[in-house]
Chain A
């Protein structure tokens, strides 16, 4: 038993910097305190630069006992804990760091990554997004990692379309597509799992869907269509497959698209996006009664679905019910005020109804959003 303890004691003595043998006391004079702190800070820096992470961690800990709000120390201790995969400790330290420097994008990003590794997904998503908003300077590697984690967390929290947007950005920015196959597949099939949570028997299907989506994005439509046929042949009863294929076909082969979406609704009767896309297509094809009825049914399933209100509004206006249509479009706009498609619908509907002021307001809003988007790019 004593022999077993020896290595641990040895390791401890190695990890303790010489200064910590006599730990500086808070009650010592200010000058002693400052000297002790400076020495510990130097030791920590040296150990970190020499990649003696354990020594550096211990020295930073000791220094922070003397000066708890030392931001540089908090930062390095937090990032070293992350490096050592002590994610829970990293979170605690990085939160203290961010209390000193709440404007640090990198700080929020590191905290978010630590929370992600601790499976604290909700906070991770929030903090990573905050990190991106505040900016990560030119650290392209960190930016790519943060975007990737945001994308997979968006999928896990069932924000599939938002996840797709982030994945497309990653792809456009030159990310290695092989790392994006599973995230794309999960978002495309609307399965709220992380890549690490894919059940063993489903990986192939998800990879096929992901590869097809990447092919589509790379404008390799033939490859995508080939993969879609294989996917459909192999997994005809799996939820999400017909929706993915149907959504693609709507633009190129609308009748095929309708067939696929109907199949999806048979398999997953509560598939709200499939119902919305189908209702939209019916209205586009001037099959107004069917479109309106499907949109109304969808709203029974998901009363707050803004896009269902939008489609219903479009259908009612096309059928001549201008007041009812505008009401639905306004409901949609209230939930999605930044959706220009809804604003355009409203602009046209207000203009046709002679509501000049409302039309002008909608136009102003469209222009404002356009400018905002331009400046973001």
Chain B
């Protein structure tokens, strides 16, 4: 049975990531004090104690025999596992980190299956920024306890610091699938790193969705601004590896995106204008401006910006798709079709391109072709609720009632899931970590 979040001061045998001793603000170092408690550890301790007594009985018997056989060479006094654990706990609680590390190492050497020991060892090492060693400890822990939980986030964070980004992303995703996320600060730090990895992978919209959530939750900070700037300008980089000459535009774009996410449009506009005045001829700037106008529900202004972007970057498929979307709403089917077709040619694996083309075809009365494009979109993004909705509409028009009903029911189910994820109540306990695809 999984235990609920418990502060270790309240329930020492069921310790989980504790927000009280975790992280200090934006240090992004997440000075975590972690311990397991995935299962009812009092039971585990009881079983451990029984085994321990049996083993120790045999050890003492052997020791007695050895000491009788060779009295001139008495065996050096051995510390018991429990003694080592007790000393390790005291060292950790009294901030004697090095001693704690040595003792936890000794304890897990004595009993490699002791999951809690690996977790504490990893945490104390992480606290000292000793990421390769901490990663190794968390790897041991998750090998024993593979269920998604805070240790996966800690492992992922270590890998991020070790520049092993693909593994970091995989581990953070595993963490995100779990029901126990750990303390608020761990969630904050891990979600932020995950968003940076999404940007690096070119998944800018998902990254921005997560970063905007962080912005509303945590407020402004220079690292958040930088991360938002990179995602807004669709730069597949991390804050530490983008070219220095991009710093100003990343900062301006980040500020603009931050204030837009806080619905402070006046301030967002101030930074947007600075960005436009200095970098208006550079790629991505008008596209960003267009998305801000859409955010403010000004589609005509947005369309203008997307057109400007297409003048500067003629192959910019996201700008084509945004413009096509606006065209569908305003009834310019010819342009919508042309833009969406072009976007699918440039980016055939992009579900959004097939989705918009499908919608444009439906709007132009080409229902059968439209349904085929929507089916292609569905294959690429099966969890996108909107695609199922439009597919249901297409099937209904084609008289395929059963298919329409199936798609509508998938749509409703996905929509419910996404609303559940977005609900305020859920956000407090388990912040949204995934943007809708």
Could you list which residues of chain A lie within 8 angstroms of chain B, going by C-beta atoms?
88, 92, 95-96, 98-100, 118-123, 126, 156-158, 191-194, 196-197, 199-200, 202, 239, 268-270, 301
Contact = CB atoms under 8 A, between A and B. Distances in A.
Interface stretch (B49-57, B142-150, B239-247, B419-427): B239-247
Contacts of A122: 26-28, 222-223
B251 A193 contact: yes
B270 A269 contact: yes
Contacts of A197: 244-245, 247-248
B183 to A, nearest CB: 20
B270 A119 contact: no
Given A88-B163, A119-B240, A196-B244, A95 B270 contact: no
Contacts of B163: 88
Contacts of A99: 97-98, 101, 128, 130
Nearest to A91: B129
B240 A120 contact: yes
B68 interface: no
A77 to B, nearest CB: 15
A270 B266 contact: yes
Interface in B98-135: 98, 101, 128-132
A202 B101 CA distance: 50
18 contacts: A92-B131, A95-B130, A96-B130, A98-B128, A99-B101, A119-B239, A119-B240, A122-B28, A123-B129, A157-B222, A192-B251, A193-B251, A194-B247, A197-B244, A197-B245, A199-B248, A200-B245, A270-B270
Tell which of B129, B163, B251, B267 has the most Cβ of chain A within 10 Å: B129
A270 B220 CA distance: 15
Given A119-B240, A123-B129, A270-B266, 9 more contacts: A92-B130, A92-B132, A99-B98, A122-B26, A122-B28, A123-B29, A193-B248, A199-B278, A239-B274
B128 A268 contact: no
Interface size class of B (residues with CB under 8 A): 20 to 34
A270 B270 CA distance: 8
Secondary structure dominating the interface of B? helix
Contact of B128 (A95, A120, A158, A270): A95
Secondary structure dominating the interface of A? helix
B272 to A, nearest CB: 12
A193 B247 contact: yes
A40 B266 CA distance: 65
B222 A270 contact: no
Contacts, number: 62
A197 B242 CA distance: 11
A119 B241 contact: yes
Contacts of B274: 239
Contacts of A192: 222, 251
B129 A194 contact: no
Contacts of A194: 244, 247
Nearest to B222: A157
A199 B330 CA distance: 40
Contacts of B240: 118-121
Contact of B27 (A98, A126, A196): A126
Nearest to A201: B278
- 4 nearest CB pairs, A to B: A119-B240, A197-B247, A197-B244, A157-B222
B28 to A, nearest CB: 6
B219 to A, nearest CB: 9
Nearest to B24: A126
A197 B29 CA distance: 25
Nearest to B238: A119
Interface string B256-293: 00000000001100100010001000000000000000
Tell which of B223, B247, B251 has the most Cβ of chain A within 10 Å: B247
Nearest to A95: B129
Nearest to B279: A199
Contacts of B129: 95, 123
Contacts of A239: 274
A268 B223 contact: no
A118 B238 CA distance: 12
A88 B161 CA distance: 10
Contacts of B26: 122
Contacts of A119: 239-241
Contact of A100 (B98, B131, B247, B266): B98
Contacts of B27: 122-123, 126
A92 B240 CA distance: 17
Contacts of A156: 222
A99 B248 CA distance: 37
A114 B7 CA distance: 36
A98 B278 CA distance: 44
Contacts of A191: 248
A118 B101 CA distance: 27
Tell which of A122, A123, A200 has the most Cβ of chain B within 10 Å: A122
Contacts of A158: 222
Contacts of B245: 197, 199-200
B218 to A, nearest CB: 14
A118 B223 CA distance: 15
A268 B274 CA distance: 9
B244 A268 contact: no
Nearest to A94: B129
A158 B267 CA distance: 17
A99 B266 CA distance: 48
Contacts of B128: 95, 98-99
A312 B282 CA distance: 43
A120 B241 CA distance: 10
Contacts of A196: 244
Contacts of B28: 122-123
A269 B266 CA distance: 9
B432 to A, nearest CB: 25
Contacts of B29: 123
Nearest to A193: B247
A121 B240 CA distance: 8
Nearest to B246: A197
Contacts of A268: 270
Nearest to B245: A199
Contacts of B244: 194, 196-197
A202 B251 CA distance: 15
B222 A301 contact: no
